């Protein structure tokens, strides 16, 4: 396959470059110190005064989870957004207007971050700025620029950050995401120190005595998509000059999963042991972006708000799973697998299997959450929709989609096919149409 042959060459070059680049440079963390109690405009989803809680009074709340998978994931999530825009409901609204939160990792974070920043121009510009761009080749060119290799202390992650800044996100920070009439965007990375997910929200930045408002979006997306070995971790400071927040005193009787997340977050209070936080690809700890929604169900004001009354409340969660299960034909040859096949084995195949387990567990959690509302005589209905390549109606197309490599550069025709597949799956989904009829 053409895409795979191109990717194999790129990965061979990048791996060689990784081995050759043994020197390290001084990295200056870009997050600033702040006392959490003195931050006025908080990019937070658990604060009672967050604009997010105005959304909860709506008749329908939509939560989107965008998985990793390079341009494959970015295109699949784009297609879902476009279909939501085309789904009309009463009062001259569309289901796109009802999106409350988008949680994303890796390739899906390009879509979520750009959508959160530039929602008005998203459908006009995102394809040409991201999906149709040969980002991988652009980065390779910069990696091998003689000036960067000889005279600069830039690491590959620094070069990626600069490219994303210059060509996609500009100087935008999380303060620019903190606005009404726009979904709350949660960009997720993985902390290699704790082995846990790190979400770019003020809740996590409170733990490290920092203000997320000033933190650049391009940094967060670079961290979320920093494939281990190929890119160095993004480093942020864990400051020690602030006091522990009440957050750690407010959450009792947690589920086992929530308790694990809670204790992993507590690690950031040990400022000497975790002076720096090293962030890599969010897909390592949660390739679907669903775990951030578990935080919403278990922590802070959302749990407390179960005391409120919701009449005919509908909650729709759409997970956009761009993982693949490729037929690598490794067993047909005595020859050892090439670098592309090896990386696919340790990423796509393993993540695909892990994704299935995560989705099953999350659906059970969602039903339990629904029951906790309805036991209090609150009429809450939850819907879970899974968009993925295994749901493709045409077997030939399913095989084609599952051979698409994880790369930030895909052919335009491939991108368009992925977008149309996402739209078709959502448009044909029984649960989706049931909810749509209810809201029209």
What are the helix (H) ranges across 247-349? 256-266, 291-298, 300-304, 339-344
Residue 345 lies in a domain: no
Residue 338 lies in a domain: no
**Domain range enclosing 390:** 27-325+352-439
Cα gap 201→148, rounded to integer Å: 33
Residue 333 lies in a domain: no
pLDDT for 309 equals 59
User: What are the DSSP calls for 203-231, one per residue?
Assistant: HHHHHTTB-GGGSBHHHHHHHHT--TTTS
pLDDT for 230 equals 86
Cα gap 392→390, rounded to integer Å: 5
Cα gap 149→136, rounded to integer Å: 18
pLDDT in tens, 250-264: 555 666 666 777 777
Q: What CATH number has the domain bearing residue 388? A: 3.40.1090
Residue 5 lies in a domain: no
Cα gap 68→81, rounded to integer Å: 16
Task: Judge contact between 50 and 42, C-beta under 8 A.
Answer: yes
Strands 196-199 and 184-191, sheet pairing: antiparallel
pTM comes to 0.89
pLDDT for 58 equals 78
pLDDT for 228 equals 87
Q: Which helix (H) or strand (E) holds 365?
A: helix 350-374
Cα gap 177→217, rounded to integer Å: 9
Cα gap 202→242, rounded to integer Å: 14
In the numeric block, the tokens 């609150």 are attached to: 378
pLDDT for 326 equals 74
From residue 335, how far is each of 6, 257, 330, 338, 341 by CA, in Å? Answer: 20, 42, 8, 9, 12
Closest CA to 95 of 53, 50, 59, 127: 59
pLDDT for 13 equals 47
In the numeric block, the tokens 């679907």 are attached to: 288
Residue 279 lies in a domain: yes
Residue 14 lies in a domain: no
User: Which three-class secondary structure state does DSSP give residue 90?
Assistant: coil
pLDDT for 19 equals 44
pLDDT for 353 equals 72
pLDDT in tens, the chain (440 residues): 555 555 555 555 455 444 444 445 555 778 999 998 888 888 988 776 665 556 566 789 999 999 999 999 999 999 999 999 999 999 899 999 999 999 999 999 999 999 999 999 999 999 999 999 999 999 988 887 766 665 556 788 999 999 999 999 999 999 999 887 889 999 999 999 888 899 999 989 999 999 999 999 999 999 999 998 889 999 999 998 886 655 555 555 666 666 777 777 788 988 889 999 999 999 999 999 998 888 777 665 455 555 565 655 899 999 999 998 877 666 666 777 776 666 666 666 667 677 888 999 899 988 888 888 787 777 888 999 999 999 999 999 999 999 998 899 999 999 999 999 999 999 999 999 999 999 98
Number of domains in the chain: 1
Cα gap 244→266, rounded to integer Å: 10
Cα gap 183→102, rounded to integer Å: 7
């Amino acid at each position: 396959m053409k895409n795979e042959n191109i990717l194999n060459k790129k990965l061979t070059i990048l791996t060689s470059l990784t081995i050759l680049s043994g020197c390290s440079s001084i990295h200056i963390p870009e997050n600033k110190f702040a006392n959490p109690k003195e931050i006025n405009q908080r990019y937070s989803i658990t604060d009672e005064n967050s604009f997010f809680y105005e959304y909860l009074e709506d008749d329908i709340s939509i939560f989107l989870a965008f998985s990793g998978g390079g341009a494959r994931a970015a295109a699949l999530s784009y297609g879902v957004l476009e279909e939501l825009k085309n789904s009309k409901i009463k009062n001259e609204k569309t289901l796109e207007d009802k999106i409350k939160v988008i949680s994303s990792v890796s390739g899906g974070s390009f879509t979520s971050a750009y959508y959160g920043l530039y929602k008005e121009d998203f459908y006009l510009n995102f394809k040409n700025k991201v999906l149709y761009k040969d980002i991988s080749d652009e980065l390779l060119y910069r990696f091998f620029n003689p000036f960067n290799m000889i005279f600069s202390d830039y690491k590959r992650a620094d070069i990626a950050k600069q490219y994303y800044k210059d060509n996609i996100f500009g100087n935008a920070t999380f303060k620019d995401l903190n606005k009404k009439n726009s979904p709350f965007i949660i960009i997720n990375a993985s902390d290699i120190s704790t082995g846990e997910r790190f979400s770019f929200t003020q809740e996590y930045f409170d733990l490290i005595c920092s203000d997320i408002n000033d933190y650049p979006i391009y940094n967060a997306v670079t961290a979320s998509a920093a494939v281990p070995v190929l890119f160095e971790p993004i480093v942020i400071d864990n400051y020690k000059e602030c006091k522990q927040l009440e957050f750690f005193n407010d959450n009792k009787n947690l589920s086992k999963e929530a308790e694990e997340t809670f204790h992993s977050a507590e690690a950031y209070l040990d400022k000497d042991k975790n002076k720096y936080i090293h962030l890599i690809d969010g897909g390592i700890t949660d390739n679907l972006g669903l775990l951030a929604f578990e935080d919403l169900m278990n922590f802070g004001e959302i749990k407390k708000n179960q005391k409120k009354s919701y009449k005919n409340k509908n909650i729709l969660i759409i997970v956009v799973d761009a993982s693949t299960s490729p037929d690598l034909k490794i067993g047909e040859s005595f020859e050892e697998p090439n670098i592309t096949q090896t990386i696919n084995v340790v990423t796509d195949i393993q993540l695909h299997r892990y994704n299935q387990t995560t989705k099953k567990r999350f659906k059970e959690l969602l039903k339990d959450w629904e029951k906790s509302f309805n036991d209090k005589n609150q009429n809450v209905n939850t819907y879970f929709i899974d968009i993925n390549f295994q749901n493709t109606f045409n077997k030939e197309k399913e095989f084609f989609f599952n051979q698409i490599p994880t790369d930030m550069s895909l052919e335009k025709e491939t991108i368009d096919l992925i977008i149309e597949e996402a739209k078709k799956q959502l448009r044909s989904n029984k649960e989706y149409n049931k909810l749509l009829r209810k809201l029209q």
